[in-house]
């Protein structure tokens, strides 16, 4: 097999198991890649390839599990309850309405207890 045939066969095999990815990046990102690649003594492309392949090789789950989604929703629900009570205080105060502070404080204390339980179990 001569040199040209060897190279042609090699390239065909290489293209079957590898794909090329090219995409534009803003200059600011390119400069950051360039600086970091220099520190690692790699070309910009080799450094970018390393970043992408390392990221894709991790076992991190990029989407939330059902439990994580429920946790976030519960946190949001409790936080919204607190925020709603604060908004009600502000609104009633601004329009000069009477505020039953006992009801308001009891409601906020209930939400605080619920929030503390929520935080302590996670």
Instruction: Report yes or no: 81 and 106 within 8 Å, Cβ to Cβ.
Output: no
Q: Is-above-0.85 flag for pTM?
A: no
Q: b/e map of 34-71 (b: 16 or more CB within 10 Å)?
A: eeebeeeeeebeebbeeeeeeeeeeeeeeeeeeeeeee
CB atoms within 10 A of CB 111: 19
List, for residues 73-89, the tens digit of each pLDDT value: 888 888 888 788 788 77
- d(C-alpha 117, C-alpha 91), whole Å: 29
List, for residues 33-56, the tens digit of each pLDDT value: 999 999 888 899 999 998 888 888
């Amino acid at each position: 097999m001569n040199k040209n045939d060897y190279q042609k066969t090699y390239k065909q095999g290489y293209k079957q198991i590898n794909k090329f990815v090219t995409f534009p990046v803003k200059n600011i990102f390119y400069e950051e890649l360039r600086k970091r690649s220099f520190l690692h003594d790699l070309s910009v492309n080799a450094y970018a390839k390393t970043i992408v392949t390392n990221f894709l090789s991790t076992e991190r789950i990029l989407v939330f599990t059902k439990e994580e989604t429920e946790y976030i929703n519960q946190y949001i629900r409790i936080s919204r309850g607190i925020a709603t009570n604060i908004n009600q205080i502000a609104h009633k105060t601004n329009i000069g309405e009477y505020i039953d502070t006992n009801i308001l404080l009891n409601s906020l204390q209930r939400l605080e207890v619920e929030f503390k339980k929520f935080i302590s179990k996670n």
